[in-house]
Amino acid sequence: MFSDQTGEFPFISSRGNKFIMLVHHVDSNSTWVEPLKNQLEGTLIAARTRILKRMRRQGIVPKHQILNNQCSARMKLAMDSTELLDGSISKMTYELVPPDEH
């Protein structure tokens, strides 16, 4: 699974969103999108959690995530302990992309 956020859009959406989080799951060849009002740490974690819950409802359970090298410690912790729909905890591995290799 690969994830990234867009840069700020030139206009704010009617619902107040300025960014989008994109997630691509390679094995299922599916792309998932979640709108963001800002790029604060808590907003990014919540958006990622919503995407993962939607993916799991479709039977897609990612095991590994590749993401931007500017990942916060709180986001890494969230990746280590994502709660599944049944209440159990799923531990995902992750890999940070080296700087300047987007």
Residue 85 pLDDT greater than 70, yes or no: no
Alpha-carbon distance values, 22 to 2, 49, 52, 89 (Å) = 8, 13, 12, 23
**Contact yes or no for 34/50 (Cβ under 8 A):** yes
pLDDT interval class at 63 (50, 70, 90)? confident
Class of 2-96 per CATH? Answer: alpha beta
- Assign 4 a pLDDT band (cuts: 50, 70, 90): confident
Ordered by start, the domain boundaries in the chain are 2-96
